[in-house]
Structure 1
Amino acid sequence: MPKALPVLDDISPICCAPLASTPDFPVEDAVRLAIRLKALADPTRLRLIAFMRSRPDQQACTRELAPVVGLSEPTVSHHLKTLEKAGLVSKERRGMSVHYTVETNAIRAMGVAIQLEDVGQIDSRSCRT
């Protein structure tokens, strides 16, 4: 069984240098980045984020998201809770429904941390099988 990562207490966007910029990547930054990457390392969660990001307000409620991923609302809520704990989405109750919003700064910070500019470009056609 894989080692469980600690629960994130601080959901603010990570602000660390790109991985390739220093051979001594701080342990605290590595843990904070790993928690967020682990939360995203699920096909359903990636699809939820992709759907919300495609919307102008980058948000949706569970009722809207369940059909997108073909799962029940309670299962979608579980996935959203994982994303929320990692600081990748936030939620707001509106009447009987809960609306989730992508935390774009957190997503952007992850991209900065794992940027691979020195690797070069890949042909987008090679990403499809």
Structure 2
Amino acid sequence: MADGTSLRLDKWLWFARFFKSRSLAAEACRGHKVRLNGGHVAKAAATVKVGDILTFARGERLFTVKVLELGVRRGPAPEAQALYEDLSPPPPKRDDPDIPAPVAARDAGTGRPTKAERRAMDRLRAGDD
């Protein structure tokens, strides 16, 4: 750590802006949700070096990144993106048939449909007029 060749994993994830806070990054590490070079990480204090491969999930997306630099601070997004190379597959397109369509799209703030509106939606889905 003092030699500048390694850095705590939770700090690096926070520097690279994958997590909003360092405590969230540490929690992900402690929860075995981060892999370092293929092995699960049990502690946030695990060290990361240049060239390491990290795999972790954020939301519905799986990230695989290669560490290019260690960084010294949590800077702006362009500075954070220079710390890693994204090896992740591209996110799936929304027109992919394997992704379920949203149940019912409604304008924000309109609330639940009334019984009459629900019956009208059911008739529309069934193709009846």
TM class, shorter-chain normalised?
Answer: under 0.3
Relative to total residues, which structure has the larger helix share, 1 or 2? 1
TM-score norm. by structure 2 comes to 0.23
Relative to total residues, which structure has the larger strand share, 1 or 2? 2
Relative contact order, CA 8 A, sep 6+: which one is greater?
1
TM-score norm. by structure 1 comes to 0.23
